[in-house]
Amino acid sequence: MDVLVFGAGSLGTLVGALLARAHDVTLVGRDPHVSRVREGGVRVSGAVEARTAPAATTKYDGSAADLAVVAVKSFDTAAAADALGAGSFEVVCSLQNGLAEETLAARLDAPVLAGTATYGARLVEPGHVECTGVGRVVLGARSGGTDPRAERVGKAFRDAGIETLVASDMPRRLWEKLAVNAGVNAVTALARVENGALTDDPGRELARRATRETARVARAEGVSLSNRRALSALDEVVTATEANRSSMLQDVDDEKRTEVDAINGTVVERAERHRLDVPTNRTLAALLRTWEVGRGVRKAGGGSVPPESTSRGESRQ
Ligand SMILES: NC(=O)c1ccc[n+]([C@@H]2O[C@H](COP(=O)([O-])OP(=O)(O)OC[C@H]3O[C@@H](n4cnc5c(N)ncnc54)[C@H](O)[C@@H]3O)[C@@H](O)[C@H]2O)c1
Ligand SMILES: CC(C)(CO)[C@@H](O)C(=O)[O-]
């Protein structure tokens, strides 16, 4: 397969480098990472060891590919979709947190699959990504059911040695993941604690409220996700990742913009459509957005501040 990976940061570089074991892969990312990949390929270390040499570019030129994998942070999804609009793909698949596939589908002609990834990835330095945990990619039709394109993409991932499940219940899986992230990410980021702090009150109860609210909104959206199922997923993730610093806490530590809009912000927005009140998610989203504006990584109106003008003057690699 010809695969384009749009968003060669931590996850995109890991997935792209692993896919390059079996396919022709092009990474779309930013310098200095892209230049380093062009010079010496990608080194994967940690839970998976590999060295591969995908092509890499900072500017997608509209070349066609069989598959485009989208792995930008959620606030860059619309821009990624606009760039991908120049190309033609048999299928596009998001591996992002949140409900990014809806943004992609609204902007692209190509069919879009939903996907989630529980692999852990960290860009250590340009050209070098660490796999911090072998997880699983789950992908499938974004409205549920079967889709031969999902089977083909699943096989392509498995052929490259990536643990992959093709699922027919992606809406429930996406909302269940959103319900867990709504409970874990903002609470740990605001309280500056590892996920394990949510095994006890008051963190536990706060996280459970955000998760319960999300499950209620999912049901209003027609997705079958009981409170019980969502809360048990929350408990499982908190226990399995006790020592982890959530992705949102890491963004806060690094003074980077977070994915709060795609997580608690999405819950609030969808709740409004159904005239539901989600006070915990509303408060968590407002607090995180206040932090982002205060740290200068978010404009007061909502947009991203260009990386070069953030307080640390770093690119968002
Ligand atoms: N890192 C993980 O372990 C992990 C695991 C599961 C899910 N995710 C999800 O995957 C998504 C990506 O996360 P990440 O940690 O890899 O983020 P990241 O910030 O490391 O990577 C995103 C990359 O996209 C690049 N990018 C954005 N717009 C671009 C553009 N127009 N052109 C070229 N490059 C562009 C950025 O420079 C950055 O390097 C998020 O939604 C995250 O929640 C991450
Ligand atoms: C599962 C999770 C909450 C574990 O930290 C992860 O999705 C994260 O950090 O975003």
Fold of the 2-168 domain: Rossmann fold (3.40.50)
Residue with CA closest to ligand 1 atom 29: 7
Cβ pair 225, 169 in contact under 8 A: no
If one residue of 73, 181, 259 were mutated to test the ligand 2 pocket, choosing by the most ligand atoms within 8 A of its CB, it would be 181
**Which pLDDT value is given to residue 96?**
97
Separation of CA 200 and ligand 1 centre (Å): 31
Separation of CA 183 and ligand 2 centre (Å): 10
Catalytic entry in 59, 155, 177, 256: 177
Whole-number Cα distances in Å, 101 to 72, 93, 94, 175: 12, 8, 6, 12
CA-to-CA distance for 88 and 97, rounded, in angstroms?
A: 24
CA-to-CA distance for 141 and 28, rounded, in angstroms?
A: 24
CA-to-CA distance for 90 and 151, rounded, in angstroms?
A: 13
**Which pLDDT value is given to residue 300?**
80
pTM equals 0.94
**Which pLDDT value is given to residue 149?**
98
Separation of CA 8 and ligand 1 centre (Å): 7
Catalytic (active site) residue 299? no
The residues spanned by each domain of the chain are 2-168, 171-300
**Which pLDDT value is given to residue 301?**
73
Q: What is the 3-state secondary structure (H, E, C) of the chain?
A: CEEEEECCCHHHHHHHHHHCCCCEEEEECCCCHHHHHHHHCEEEEECCCEEECCEEECCCCCCCEEEEEECCCHHHHHHHHHHHCCCCEEEEEECCCCCHHHHHHHHCCCCEEEEEECCEEEEEECCEEEEEECCCEEEEECCCCCCHHHHHHHHHHHHCCCCEEECCCHHHHHHHHHHHHHHHHHHHHHHCCCHHHHHCCCHHHHHHHHHHHHHHHHHHCCCCCCHHHHHHHHHHHHHHCCCCCCHHHHHHHCCCCCCCCCCHHHHHHHHHHCCCCCHHHHHHHHHHHHHHHHHCCECCCCCECCHHHCCCCCCCC
**Which pLDDT value is given to residue 311?**
41
**Which pLDDT value is given to residue 228?**
98
**Which pLDDT value is given to residue 306?**
57
The CATH number for 171-300, chosen from 3.20.20.140, 1.10.1040.10, 3.20.10.10, 1.10.287.610, is 1.10.1040.10
Whether the ipTM is more than 0.90: the answer is yes
**Which pLDDT value is given to residue 299?**
85
User: What does the pLDDT profile of the chain (317 residues) look like in tens digits?
Assistant: 999 999 999 999 999 999 999 999 999 999 999 999 999 999 999 999 999 999 999 999 999 999 999 999 999 999 999 999 999 999 999 999 999 999 999 999 999 999 999 999 999 999 999 999 999 999 999 999 999 999 999 999 999 999 999 999 999 999 999 999 999 999 999 999 999 999 999 999 999 999 999 999 999 999 999 999 999 999 999 999 999 999 999 999 999 999 999 999 999 999 999 999 999 999 999 999 999 999 999 988 777 665 544 444 333 33
Residue with CA closest to ligand 1 atom 9: 96
Query: Could you report how far apart the first and last alpha carbons of the chain are, in Å?
Result: 27
pLDDT in tens, 195-254: 999 999 999 999 999 999 999 999 999 999 999 999 999 999 999 999 999 999 999 999
Spatial CB neighbours of 106, under 8 Å, sequence gap ≥ 6: 81
Alpha carbon dihedral 288, 12, 141, 214, in 10-degree steps, equals -20
**Which pLDDT value is given to residue 285?**
98
CA-to-CA distance for 247 and 213, rounded, in angstroms?
A: 21
Amino acid at 257: R
